[in-house]
A and B are shown apart, each in its own frame.
Chain A
Amino acid sequence: SQTIHQWPATLVQPVGSPLSLECTVEGTSNPNLYWYRQAAGRGLQLLFYSVGIGQISSEVPQNLSASRPQDRQFILSSKKLLLSDSGFYLCAWNEGPNSPLHFGNGTRLTVT
């Protein structure tokens, strides 16, 4: 069966520090991969999605970037965090247009 791993679960970082969040999927090949951010009590904002290695689509211009160095690995990065980067970051995957998203357990990022 397929599983998705996302880490770390929580992270507290100072303003101006770098960020690297990692997500890996097991049990499937060539998944579509997604990064979402959720502000407290709000819906999910799509940040990036990828349909293949090295293919990244950005939805919101911001202080973040994403990379897909391997088929089932998706990384969210920042060179210098801002206070506004705080939030709940969720990685997800699916198989294509008419398949549901499968989410990781999320990373709670607090920028201080």
Chain B
Amino acid sequence: SQQGEEDPQALSIQEGENATMNCSYKTSINNLQWYRQNSGRGLVHLILIRSNEREKHSGRLRVTLDTSKKSSSLLITASRAADTASYFCATYLNTGGFKTIFGAGTRLFVKA
């Protein structure tokens, strides 16, 4: 079963608007990561946030983590058409091994 679940499954916005994607997970984590995937390509890492961190920024991206609610959000500000892609959250589990488990993703479409 999926460890992380993204919400919404799909999001369509106008260029210049902000896009917010949410991720919920089930078990204790070491860190949570967000990735982007353009159609038919490999995933590209965006941000990694550790379990003892609450917020991280990278350019137009802001990630928050609430371990008490087992949830995270990714905010893309001032979106551009080039931001159109699928976005995945992934959790690195605390349960041993080296497992990074992905959610089903949010498909973002930014209209020019």
Contacts and interface: CB of A to CB of B under 8 A. Distances in A.
Q: Do A and B come from one complex?
A: yes
Interface string A21-39: 0000000000010101000
Contact of B41 (A51, A101, A106): A106
B20 interface: no
Interface residues of A, number: 29
B43 A101 contact: yes
B50 A98 contact: yes
B97 to A, nearest CB: 6
Interface stretch (B60-68, B71-79, B102-110): B102-110
B12 interface: no
A31 to B, nearest CB: 11
Nearest to B47: A100
Contact of A103 (B31, B42, B99, B103): B42
A97 interface: yes
B40 interface: yes
Contacts of A44: 43, 88, 90, 102
Contacts of B100: 34, 46, 94, 101
B108 to A, nearest CB: 14
A101 B36 CA distance: 12
A64 to B, nearest CB: 17
A39 B85 CA distance: 16
Interface of B: 2, 30-31, 33, 35, 40-45, 48, 50, 88, 90, 92, 97-105, 107
6 contacts: A36-B102, A43-B104, A44-B88, A51-B98, A103-B44, A105-B42
Given A6-B42, A43-B102, A99-B48, 7 more contacts: A42-B105, A51-B98, A90-B43, A92-B43, A94-B100, A101-B43, A108-B40
